[in-house]
Amino acid sequence: MVDQPPALHTGRPRWSSPLPADYVQLQVPVLQQLYHWDCGLACSRMVLQYLNRLNDEEFQKAIRDLRLTKSIWTIDLAYLMRHFGVKHRFCTQTLGVDKGYKNQSFYRKHFDTEENRVNQLFAQAKASKVLVEKCTVTMQDIQEHLSQGHIAIVLVNAVLLLCELCSSPVKYCCFLPIGQKCFCRNPDYQGHFIVLCGYNKASGSVYYNNPAYADRTCSTSISNFEEARTSYGTDEDILFIYTDS
């Protein structure tokens, strides 16, 4: 863990204009997920380490206290941020579970057992001081957030998200450690969490940490990122994280 806050690289001084900078690449630690289901937890670990708040023992205790299992929703990550006192804002298109997901292969296995649990978390969010809003987020909103040194966890459709820097893209049907065999079929939707850490207006690129990897920051076009994050199944979920927590 570093002693100083991670560096912020921007195309112009932060105080010179209310508009987002032309270029931002935040130095967010890259941490790899351990299983096919824990990408959201790996992203949360990246966030906490970026904020100098990651303690493995406390993190494992938080997972137990919040009763997080192999089915992790964005609302779970919002509660996790609240548990650690991290200032956040969870934006989504659906305040609860979209019943239309019941027949999607990605959600089908856990849908019946998870629907009530997730809806209850949404219902209790305000009382639990978890900030949730039904709202539409634009790319300019995201760039403005990043230009201030803040980061975000985003739910994307991994089937659609394509990194322009990776010579051998991750097989989208699963994210398993080396040595574990994948038995899943090619779905239309594969929910996956990533950490947004920058953008380049000149090249029209977005930078993000993909927990499927442990050794790189990925990049894709803004149009590809928008397609992946607004795909049916994501609810356009984005969890904004603020450094001034």
* pLDDT value of residue 16: 35
**Angle of the 39-50 helix axis to the 74-83 helix axis, nearest 10:** 30
Burial class (CB in 10 A: 0-12, 13-18, 19+), 87: middle
Pick from 153, 65, 72: which is nearest to 110 by CA?
Answer: 72
Kind and range of the H or E run holding 83: helix 74-83
Pick from 57, 52, 236: which is nearest to 136 by CA?
Answer: 236
* pLDDT value of residue 148: 96
Low-confidence stretches of the chain (pLDDT beneath 70): 1-19, 100-111, 167-187, 245
Length of the chain measured in residues: 245
* pLDDT value of residue 147: 96
* pLDDT value of residue 236: 97
* pLDDT value of residue 3: 38
Quote the radius of gyration of the chain (alpha carbons, Å).
Answer: 17
Kind and range of the H or E run holding 195: strand 191-200
Give 54-70 as a DSSP string.
--HHHHHHHHHHTT--S
* pLDDT value of residue 186: 58
Class of the CATH domain delimited by 13-241: alpha beta
**DSSP code, position 127:** T
* pLDDT value of residue 36: 87
For 85-131, how does the pLDDT look when each residue is reduced to its tens digit (9 = 90+)?
Answer: 999 999 999 998 877 666 666 666 666 778 899 999 999 999 999 99
**Interatomic CA distance for residues 214 and 24, integer angstroms:** 21
* pLDDT value of residue 97: 86
Quote the tokens at residue 151. 């980061």
* pLDDT value of residue 181: 46
* pLDDT value of residue 245: 63
Report the chain's terminal Cα–Cα distance, integer Å.
Answer: 18
Taking the CB of residue 113, how many other CB atoms lie within 10 A of it? Answer: 10
pTM of the model: 0.84
Pick from 79, 47, 55: which is nearest to 66 by CA?
Answer: 79
Pick from 185, 182, 193: which is nearest to 157 by CA?
Answer: 193
Torsion over CA: 167, 218, 71, 45 (sign): positive
The residue behind tokens 């019941």 is: 102
- Paired sense of beta strands 132-134 and 88-92, if any: parallel
Residues facing residue 229 across a β-bridge: none
